[in-house]
Amino acid sequence: TAGITQAPTSQILAAGRSMTLRCTQDMRHNAMYWYRQDLGLGLRLIHYSNTAGTTGKGEVPDGYSVSRANTDDFPLTLASAVPSQTSVYFCASSVTRDTGELFFGEGSRLTVL
Amino acid sequence: QKEVEQDPGPLSVPEGAIVSLNCTYSNSAFQYFMWYRQYSRKGPELLMYTYSSGNKEDGRFTAQVDKSSKYISLFIRDSQPSDSATYLCAMRAYSGAGSYQLTFGKGTKLSVIP
């Protein structure tokens, strides 16, 4: 079972350019999440979706947008990348929003120059 | 004071040692406690979870929760080199209106030396 698939695995991006990180799950989970992980700061929630068609803001949403057109896909878009968005991005899912049992993807390592 | 405090380490132990990893928290509303393991350049994976105070055992791993002291621990017995990873504690609280807050510790990096 694939679980959570993220793409790309890594990317170098020029500041000011846009980028979409893709996330697909095959577990039919209702809830999905995007986190960024930075040294010394840990995992921080960017955006989440309780179910298809709904999204919400997490702890650090500025500069990012998401959409949830269907159950399986939850792309994260950086409209105009800045160097402070250099990070490792993890997509995760859970059966429902009210559980702490998250399943994570392998991560997308993004460098903004 | 941050809601969840976790010593980042690094922690280095010899193979076979008993490892103790700890987190403290300040939010009394946390009711659901988890430990995630993250190998280098991989995503976190859920290791153990518990709702209540006391101990929960799973093989070589024991999760301990003390709600009165706001302290949780993960013990690893007979540690193996394959246990070398970063361990993140996580806690969940109901934040009202059908929303839940999940807060992660920053992680403790563990190395088990053969």
Q: What is the DSSP letter of A40?
A: T
- Give me the residues of chain B with pLDDT under 50, please: none
pLDDT the model gives residue A1: 60
Give the A:B interface size as CB pairs under 8 Å: 49
What tens digit of pLDDT does each residue of A22-54 get?
Answer: 999 999 999 999 999 998 888 999 999 999 999
Would you call A102 and B44 a contact, using CB atoms and an 8 Å cutoff?
A: yes
DSSP output for B38-100: E-TTS--EEEEEESSSEEEEETTEEEEEETTTTEEEEEESS--GGG-EEEEEEEEEEEETTEE
Q: What is the DSSP letter of A105?
A: -
pLDDT the model gives residue B1: 58
Contact A80, A96 (CB under 8 A): no
Percentage of the residues of chain A whose pLDDT score is greater than 90:
89
Work out the minimum CA distance from A53 to partner chain B, whole angstroms.
Answer: 17
pLDDT the model gives residue A96: 87
Tell whether the model's pLDDT for residue A2 goes beyond 80.
no
Q: Which residues of B touch A96 (CB under 8 A)?
A: none
Nearest to A100 among B42, B102, B105 (CB): B102
Would you call B106 and A42 a contact, using CB atoms and an 8 Å cutoff?
A: yes
Nearest to A42 among B43, B98, B105 (CB): B105
Amino acid making up residue A75? P
